[in-house]
Each structure stands twice: as structure tokens, then as C-alpha cells.
Amino acid sequence: MLPEIFQMPGFGIGITTYGLLQAITFIVTLWVAVRLAAADGLSKIKVLYLGICLCPVFLLGAKLLMILAERQQYEGRVSVVSFDLLHSVGAYYGGFVAAVGISPLLTRALKLPWGQMVDVCAPAIALGGVPARLGCFAGGCCWGKPTDSWIGVHFTEKANQATGVPINVPLVPIQVIDACVYLLIFALLLWVRKRRTFTGQVFIAFMILYSVARFFTEFWRDDPRGQVLGLSTSQFISAMLFPLALAFYYKRATFRFPLQHMGTA
């Protein structure tokens, strides 16, 4: 793979593919959210402010869950300012929960309708996951299990030094598979968006689709991570999120929370 694009001569500082693609992830997510919000008649500037505020919240939540899930690995040697902690985005679900948890306060402060905003953000998050996972593939993190299949890939020694990914066996390219799953979820959410009948439908659809997809793709992942009742941390959260999302969908659909006025901008 390509963990580093180039190094600045004389400085020893390199531009990593992982870092570049993670930056592209946030740009893509904000761009899609602003475009969809404008189509619903929401303020582009307010949505941009919301996204900028949620980015550090997401990162903090992702890093906190990463530490909790792999506490044995980090215990006693990682501080809040260590490079070992800061160079990784973290655990996705931690960022997702943190961002969703703080979003009602931010949308209220910006005078944005929370239900419409989460419907706007869901497709944006899904598409943003594509470059994020490709970044993982380029950097060698979040690797898959060994395989004898033709799809197996070998990582470079440089990737091994950075992340510990095995280089002596072909591995399932789960990062690329995840990227394709994100792209499919994005397409399905756009389909749901055009046919939505109540506020929050797109966001709930995202939780259902993502929790199911993440639960099963985790079986092909082989990087070190926490275990809860024999499941990976992400599988355990997915198993809890799926019935919760179904309950929310049933409640919202049954009581028919009407769509708010959708304009154009």
C-alpha cells in the first residue's frame, strides 16, 4: 500500500496518505451536508458552523472509545497529548455517539431543526466513510483476517512499522470492502430521502443499515480491538443500536411526525 505520499527534504516530515484522506473525509462530509441542507431550505452558513463544531466532538469521542476498547494497550503509556494517541482518528462509534449526543444543543444554539439536520447529515456521514476507509487501507490500519482468496493483499514493511499490520500473509482488504459498503449505504439513503414520509427517517435508516453492515463486516477484521461478550466493541454496539433504531423507526412511522416544510436554496 502507500502509507506515505512524500517527505519534505531536510525536515523529516512526511505527508501520509491516511492523514490526507482523513482530511478529505471531513471536507466531503461537510460539502454533502451543506448541499443537502440547502436543498431543504436550511442556512448553508449555519450548517457549515454546525459541521465545524461537530468535527472535534467526533474526534474526541472516537479517541475516548479507542482508549476504552484497547485500554490494556494504552494503559500507563498514553497521555492526552501523546503522538501515539493523536495520530489515529479513533473508533468510529465513539465519535458517532458523541456527535449525536451533543448535536441537539448545537442545533438549538444555531436555531436549526434537529430532525431535519440529522436527516441531512446521515448521507454526508455515509459518503465521508469512503475516503476514510481508503485512508485506512493506504495506511495499513484496521486490517482484515488472513486469506487464501485471490482478493488477499500484502501490506508494506513501512505500514507494519506504523500500525503492526502483518506483512507475511495475504489479508482480506476489509477496508476497501467497508468503503464499498459506505458507498452503497449512501446510495440507499438518497433513495430513502426522496421517499421519506416523516422527519428523522433518513437518519434512522442510516443507523439500521450501518449497524447491520458493521456487525457482519467485523467478522473479516483482524486488528487488535476490545472484546465484549465474545464480540468486538463495534459488533456489540451494533447489536444494541439495531433494535434501538427499529424501535425509533416504528415510533416515528406510527405517530407520523410530519415532514417540516422543505424549501430550496
pLDDT tens-digit profile of 91-132? 888 889 999 999 999 999 999 999 999 999 999 999 999 999
Does residue 21 lie in a domain region? yes
The stretch 51-73 carries a mean pLDDT of 82
- List the domain range (segments joined by +) for residue 181: 4-186
Name, in order, each residue with C-beta under 8 angstroms of 52's C-beta and a sequence gap of 6 or more. 30
Share of the chain above pLDDT 70, in %: 81
Does residue 59 lie in a domain region? yes
The stretch 126-155 carries a mean pLDDT of 91
CB 127, CB 186: distance < 8 Å: yes
Does residue 123 lie in a domain region? yes
Res 13: pLDDT: 56
Does residue 258 lie in a domain region? no
Angle subtended by helix axes 44-69 and 17-39, to nearest 10: 140
CB 205, CB 242: distance < 8 Å: no
Does residue 58 lie in a domain region? yes
For 7, how many CA atoms within 13 A lie in the half-sphere containing its CB? 6
pLDDT at 71 over 90: no
178 grid coordinates: 467497508
| Per-chain mean pLDDT for the chain | 84
Does residue 57 lie in a domain region? yes
pLDDT at 80 over 50: no
CB 38, CB 26: distance < 8 Å: no
Does residue 217 lie in a domain region? no
The total number of structural domains in the chain stands at 1
What is the spatial distance between Cα 111 and Cα 216, in angstroms, rounded to a whole number? 38
pLDDT at 30 over 70: yes
Among 7-11, 28-32, 118-122, where is mean pLDDT lowest? 7-11
Q: Write down the pTM of the prediction.
A: 0.85
What is the enclosing helix (H) or strand (E) of 69? helix 44-69
